[in-house]
């Protein structure tokens, strides 16, 4: 994931004043007062918003950044509200400064200042990858249509704004689905709030984004709600859609495509796994259940399934297993983030289930502390932050010594954020960023790896892997790095796709260290143990071939491909276009080419014949 800083620029007014105390003679004794952080931050926040409205948005934005920088540098971590208010001010002024039309900018600000809860939901939800002007354009559209009613549904309004700032379109193989009007969606969820599986008002925005990112029409949603309201196992809806085996076997157009792509038609005419997953996911959103469309590549073919938030007593957990075929369990999937439209691993979504038990104030505190940590990491001279001026404080106020913005202090801020909300992925992405910049010691990496393991355990292995990866890769000592990869491998035993990826990382490590024997053992392990578990076997074969050629052992290449091909599962009962995606077919083509290159034409033709039997006349030539 890219840089997650919530601020687009850091134009701190540093160097314009000396810290209090440096301007006083040693012989002068001036009474000092401890700062009242709550009072000072609230007053400064109000002054900055007034400045924003009446004068210059750019100046107010810079002052908002300075306020947050000062709080990050001087405020005790116990002053939670000061961090929240300062981060809120910095984020909102930064975001609204992007709204180029002044009248619209003031309209939004005035509305938000009247509705503090909605203002904070939006300010803390918008991500750097988004364009705030587009987000607030959606808010203005909703304000014009529904006015004060939005304030009664702050999380719903925030979710709709950040998701529908660009048109929602989903491509499901040959079919395309587009979202309804955002006002119609707001009305649908408000009208049917009592029928929603988790309700609306009590659901965090970071989970509601997986509800409102629907591409069904309100008409389809009403149909789905009438048939499936209250279903606590939305994943099973995947199997209510019959599989279109004629399309799989012959490749003829699907009936649902011929008749028209809609929820009722998918249920009536069936489809392939992509249609099954879309149906289950979209029905789940219609009944108020966060859900996601998941894709992955197995050893045979690309697949799709559904993930959904499943109630578990007073809590909930994402379930990515109930709505997919058994033979594809254990594959790491990817989903499209509704806000950024980036592809992320399903584990990043799964960890958000923990949000259901964390109160709004705790979520805000965590986001504020992460915002402060990331921003503070970019301040070049914390000691030059003019604390008195930044806080509009009495000159007699003693702010003390500012924090250094080294890794130790940044980790203190991140640790405080994690205590408020341990499942906030921004905490861990900030940590990953520090690791990627090589700013963490080995001891710090091990300590945070332990914290991460306590959070994730066996529940979120792919999220754990994504955070651990740069922490391990930035360890300079190859032996120490390899030891940590081995420890990671032991944690991934139930996830063959992740275990294979660890081995690929180890192989890359040893290649970089110019130790082909050790790299080869890693690739060999992937080929022998994980050949049918994902597409990585093709890369492992290509890498092994390169090393054999460099070592003067090129004659072994044909045997390598032949042995691997024999252990791969041959696809059956599917159209050639599907079979051609399989590892068996892809490695078979490579094997046939190696045989031809070695002058073993007859054997190459035999392999080609087997490929042709499975995929039909469309088999590619190996020559």
From 341, 359, 380, give the residue that closes a domain.
341
- The verdict on residue 614 lying in a domain is yes
| C-alpha dist (Å) from residue 302 to 201, 294, 378, 534 | 37, 11, 42, 10
Q: In terms of residue numbers, what domain contains 594? A: 555-623
Closest C-alpha among 142, 141, 334, 307 to residue 211: 307
pLDDT band with cut points at 50, 70 and 90 for residue 49: very high
pLDDT of residue 27: 39
Burial class of residue 309 in the structure, from the number of CB atoms within 10 Å of its CB (0-12 exposed, 13-18 middle, 19+ buried): buried
CB contact at 8 A, 291 and 197: no
- The verdict on residue 223 lying in a domain is yes
- The verdict on residue 543 lying in a domain is no
Mapping DSSP onto H, E and C, the string for 325-355 reads CHHHCCCCCEEECCCCCCEEEHHHHHHHHHH
Q: Which pLDDT tens digit goes with each residue over 170-179?
A: 999 899 999 9
- The verdict on residue 253 lying in a domain is yes
From 298, 316, 341, give the residue that closes a domain.
341
- The verdict on residue 510 lying in a domain is no
- The verdict on residue 241 lying in a domain is yes
From 280, 310, 341, give the residue that closes a domain.
341
Write down how long the chain is: 623
Q: How far apart are CA 383 and CA 161, in angstroms?
A: 39
Q: Which pLDDT tens digit goes with each residue over 455-505?
A: 877 778 888 888 898 899 999 999 999 999 999 999 887 788 889 999 999
CB contact at 8 A, 92 and 67: no
Give the residue ranges of DSSP H helices in 2-131. Answer: 37-54, 57-74, 80-96, 102-114, 116-125
| C-alpha dist (Å) from residue 102 to 115, 128, 427, 498, 515 | 20, 21, 34, 50, 62
- The verdict on residue 333 lying in a domain is yes
CATH number at residue 206: 3.10.620
- The verdict on residue 52 lying in a domain is no
Q: How far apart are CA 407 and CA 404, in angstroms?
A: 9
State the average pLDDT for the chain.
Answer: 88
pLDDT above 70 (res 341): yes
Q: How many domains does the chain have?
A: 2
pLDDT above 70 (res 577): no
């Amino acid at each position: 994931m890219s840089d997650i800083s919530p601020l687009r620029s850091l134009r701190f007014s540093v160097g314009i004043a000396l810290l209090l105390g440096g301007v006083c003679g040693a012989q002068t004794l001036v009474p000092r007062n401890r700062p009242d952080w709550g009072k000072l931050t609230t007053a400064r926040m109000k002054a900055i918003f007034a400045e924003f409205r009446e004068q210059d948005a750019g100046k107010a934005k810079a002052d908002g950044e300075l306020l947050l920088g000062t709080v990050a540098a001087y405020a005790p971590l116990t002053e939670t509200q000061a961090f929240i208010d300062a981060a809120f001010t910095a984020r909102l002024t930064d975001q609204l400064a992007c709204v180029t039309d002044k009248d619209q900018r003031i309209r939004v600000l005035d509305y938000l200042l009247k509705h503090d809860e909605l203002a904070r939901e939006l300010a803390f939800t918008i991500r750097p990858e988004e364009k705030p002007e587009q987000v607030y354009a959606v808010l203005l559209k909703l304000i014009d249509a529904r006015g004060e009613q939005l304030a009664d549904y702050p999380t719903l309004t925030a979710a709709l704004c950040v998701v529908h700032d660009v048109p929602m379109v989903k491509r499901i193989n040959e079919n395309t689905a587009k979202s309804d009007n955002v006002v119609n969606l707001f009305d649908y969820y408000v009208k049917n709030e009592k029928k929603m599986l988790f309700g609306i008002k009590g659901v965090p925005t970071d989970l509601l984004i997986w509800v409102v990112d629907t591409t069904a029409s309100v008409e389809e949603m009403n149909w789905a709600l009438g048939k499936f309201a209250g279903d606590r196992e939305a994943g099973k809806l995947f199997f209510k859609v019959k599989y279109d085996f004629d399309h799989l076997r012959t490749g003829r157009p699907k009936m649902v495509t011929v008749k028209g792509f809609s929820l009722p038609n998918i249920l009536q005419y069936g489809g392939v796994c992509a249609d099954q997953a879309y149906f289950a996911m979209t029905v789940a959103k219609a009944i108020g259940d966060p859900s996601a469309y998941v894709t992955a590549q197995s050893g045979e073919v690309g697949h799709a399934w559904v993930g959904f938030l499943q109630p578990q007593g007073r809590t909930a957990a994402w379930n990515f297993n109930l709505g997919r075929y058994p033979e594809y369990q254990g594959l790491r999937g990817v989903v499209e983030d509704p806000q950024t439209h980036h592809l992320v691993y399903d584990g990043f979504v799964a960890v958000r289930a923990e949000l259901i038990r964390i109160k709004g104030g705790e979520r805000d505190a965590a986001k504020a502390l992460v915002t402060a940590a990331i921003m503070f990491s970019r301040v070049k001279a914390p000691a030059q932050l003019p604390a008195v001026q930044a806080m509009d404080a009495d000159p007699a106020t003693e702010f003390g010594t500012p924090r250094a913005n080294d890794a130790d202090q940044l980790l203190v801020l991140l640790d405080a954020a994690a205590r408020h909300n341990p499942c906030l992925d921004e905490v861990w992405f900030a940590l990953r960023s520090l690791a990627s910049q090589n700013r963490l010691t080995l001891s710090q990496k091990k300590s945070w790896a332990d914290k991460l393991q306590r959070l994730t355990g066996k529940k979120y292995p792919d999220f754990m892997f994504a955070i651990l990866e740069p922490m391990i890769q930035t360890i300079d000592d190859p032996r120490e790095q390899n030891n940590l990869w081995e420890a990671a491998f032991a944690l991934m035993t139930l996830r063959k796709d992740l275990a294979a990826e660890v081995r690929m990382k180890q192989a890359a490590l040893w290649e970089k260290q110019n130790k082909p024997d050790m790299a080869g053992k890693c690739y060999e392990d992937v080929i022998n143990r994980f050949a049918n578990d994902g597409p990585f076997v093709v890369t492992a074969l290509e890498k092994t071939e390169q090393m054999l050629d460099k070592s003067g052992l090129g004659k072994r290449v044909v045997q390598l491909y032949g042995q691997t091909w024999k252990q791969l599962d041959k696809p059956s009962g599917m159209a050639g276009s599907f079979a051609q995606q399989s590892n068996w077919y892809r490695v078979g083509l490579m094997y046939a080419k190696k045989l031809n290159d070695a002058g073993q034409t007859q054997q190459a033709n035999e392999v080609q014949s087997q490929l042709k039997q499975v995929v039909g006349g469309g088999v590619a030539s190996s020559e």
